Structure 1
């Protein structure tokens, strides 16, 4: 009966036109209880401390490299022949706007949350806590302060690629799971920031990430087209790929 119920449940989940959702369901089924491969250690505490020290020192090296360069003396600005209004402040949100943001978030949970995300998004529960969530969001937007308590995250080391040496810390990347309210504030800010960039034409035409309608697929198609055009002319092409180290959130 249990196996039959599980099978029926999974089949129901797979009946969707959302390809990304389908792959997430399949991934959970294939990797069920697979766990996270971690380096050998004398204790969990020792391993956690070693990972913290490694990630911390990696960020410190990047900061020191930036401080030693001339990057901080330059002001990045778009190459435009027109003036662009500054985004001087964020707009205060109505409860209706925050409600839409909350409902659009995934049901992913974090143990730092007092309430499971799925329960929080329940209409009855949300109607009670929505005024408080809206107040938190608007206070953060108006003061320009992201509460320290909401900056806390559960960091999980993930092997960058299956088959990598588990004993080498540099083969791991940190995945941070933050509280749900943090995600709501982030999404509200991202919407306003992206709206400002789009409205004022500040996105680069060739940008293929963090922009609606683009992805890694569009950049590959663009490069493929450029390469073919050059080769058709009988010319040679040099492709330079720059790998930025440790692009942390």
Structure 2
């Protein structure tokens, strides 16, 4: 499986099938490490694996479709032989992947195999056993006895035309399927393919009926109607201008919502295209022609040429696709990390609250409201609690000394300059539409839709807040989702869209003032115009190289402060 192009070709074959394969078992994966195993992912499948740690070769993998409820039971490696079991909940069935190392101690393997299958109530074991069922040697006879003694039977048809491995001179059945299910009538097929020196085995427990494409019902906003409604609204009361504006927007959005239906399409095939599938089919045809007459050098040349051509095309197409994907999200960090996480692992991070939680009093609660209150209390107090643990004697207060920042001029920030409609319009235009709505359910797209109708009132609201030093209470509330990270929880807050407009106005004035008095330390790279982590990296590398050129020893101290922002005095 680790051979370049082999796994990608397998993905192409799976995409070309009309019906989905629910469980895919692969033996002799040759995977060496967990990191290497995580590179082999198939969209909509979960990958389980058991590999050798010290030696090359061997190993088994099982890919299970995510729409089949399943759990990982166990994986065992004994004397270089691999066993991996997965339980399918819907079928109350255990699927086992087995690999026996050639020439390994047969008795040791059979003892472990007997122990494995005897503990299973309903099971199917699939794998490379390296016992030739076409032979009557002592080890194969003993293997058949162990299978029967445990109430299992072999699904394989014991005829040479159904061999699972074929060379120019031999035919063997060393890949087996055995089960203790008696009532099922299995459909089995041996698939000849040039992808491997073993033939593929296919087994169908019962006819699978493809699920119809799921239909999603959701509410959407009719933005044209929203604009028309807002034109009819009158803000009115000058003393409560913001509350009236917010209420009008919320009511107009509610009245503009319509119910829509969406068919959830299957996931796209990314880099796998029709040309690759057709090329694989052509390669398979040439392989069959060559197999019928192995002495025909012309057919051998045509097959090997096409085989190498397909492998090269797969690698080239895949590389080009992902290179272009990375270029498209070059300036979009969130999409970049989403792509990286997709390629590196199939694990997802849960953003929902846990089903139960232990409170500070030691009581375990399953009440959703109580769990939310516990999280709220934790996030509110964690900063101050950590700050109390910081030794007072270690505090340093000279960060604004001339050594760190040089203030110039006699500018004093005793009030904020008023905003205007042009500034508010630019801020709204720069808002990202691909963000969630806050607790008020006002989306960024809705604000942009009615921008021309609310600019005057919104700028008046903000100016009044700047004059009085107040901030609307409804904009102080955020939707918080706890995300589990490294044994702790981090809050992800979604603020109301309008609060971001207020904050940007204040930010612009603070940033202008602090820049004017030369407040910022020149080595502060984050949250400053024309500065970012790239600037920090360039400076770091430059300093390292300069000191190395001076024959000096370079040391680095990297500190990750625990909840650093939360411990600051807010």
The normalised TM-score by structure 2 is 0.36
Matched, 1:137 2:462: yes
Match for residue 471 of structure 2 among 138, 146, 152: 146
Match for residue 19 of structure 1 among 330, 341, 360: 330
Provide closer, same or farther for how the CA distance between residues 143 and 43 of structure 1 changes in structure 2, counting only shifts above 3 A. same
Provide closer, same or farther for how the CA distance between residues 211 and 25 of structure 1 changes in structure 2, counting only shifts above 3 A. closer
Provide closer, same or farther for how the CA distance between residues 92 and 226 of structure 1 changes in structure 2, counting only shifts above 3 A. same
Per-residue deviation at 1:148?
A: 2.5
Q: Could you tell me how far apart the structure 1 residues matched to 2:336 and 2:534 are?
A: 22
- Residue in 2 that maps onto 1:48: 372
The aligned runs of 1:32-47 (5 Å cut-off) are 35-36=350-351, 38-41=353-356, 42-47=366-371
Q: Could you tell me how far apart the structure 2 residues matched to 1:84 and 1:110 are?
A: 42
RMSD: 3.8
- Residue in 2 that maps onto 1:102: 428
Q: Could you tell me how far apart the structure 2 residues matched to 1:55 and 1:46 are?
A: 14
Q: Could you tell me how far apart the structure 1 residues matched to 2:532 and 2:377 are?
A: 34
Structure with bigger gyration radius: 2
Unaligned 5+ residue runs, structure 2? 1-261, 269-324, 357-365
In the alignment, is the contact (CA less than 8 A) between 2:329 and 2:336 conserved in 1?
Answer: no
- Residue in 1 that maps onto 2:451: 126
In the alignment, is the contact (CA less than 8 A) between 1:109 and 1:116 conserved in 2?
Answer: yes
Matched, 1:88 2:405: no
Per-residue deviation at 1:236?
A: 2.1
- Residue in 2 that maps onto 1:233: 550
- Residue in 2 that maps onto 1:10: none
In the alignment, is the contact (CA less than 8 A) between 1:153 and 1:177 conserved in 2?
Answer: yes
Per-residue deviation at 1:115?
A: 3.0
Alignment length (residue pairs)? 234
The normalised TM-score by structure 1 is 0.76
The worse-fitting range, judged by mean Cα deviation, of 90-99 and 108-117 is 108-117
Per-residue deviation at 1:70?
A: 8.3
In the alignment, is the contact (CA less than 8 A) between 2:413 and 2:513 conserved in 1?
Answer: yes
Unaligned 5+ residue runs, structure 1? 8-13
Per-residue deviation at 1:20?
A: 3.0
Q: Which has the higher strand share?
A: 2
Q: Could you tell me how far apart the structure 2 residues matched to 1:156 and 1:94 are?
A: 34
Residues 140-199 of structure 1, C-alpha deviations (whole Å, 9 max, x = no match): 212222222211111111233xxx3xxx3xx22111111111111111111122222333
Per-residue deviation at 1:120?
A: 1.6
In the alignment, is the contact (CA less than 8 A) between 1:208 and 1:218 conserved in 2?
Answer: yes
Match for residue 400 of structure 2 among 74, 77, 83: 77
Q: Which has the higher helix share?
A: 1
Matched, 1:204 2:521: yes
Q: Could you tell me how far apart the structure 2 residues matched to 1:65 and 1:3 are?
A: 51
In the alignment, is the contact (CA less than 8 A) between 2:483 and 2:489 conserved in 1?
Answer: yes
Q: Could you tell me how far apart the structure 1 residues matched to 2:334 and 2:464 are?
A: 38
Match for residue 444 of structure 2 among 96, 100, 117: 117
Provide closer, same or farther for how the CA distance between residues 96 and 78 of structure 1 changes in structure 2, counting only shifts above 3 A. farther
Per-residue deviation at 1:231?
A: 1.9
Per-residue deviation at 1:221?
A: 1.9
Per-residue deviation at 1:113?
A: 2.5
In the alignment, is the contact (CA less than 8 A) between 2:443 and 2:497 conserved in 1?
Answer: no
- Residue in 2 that maps onto 1:187: 504
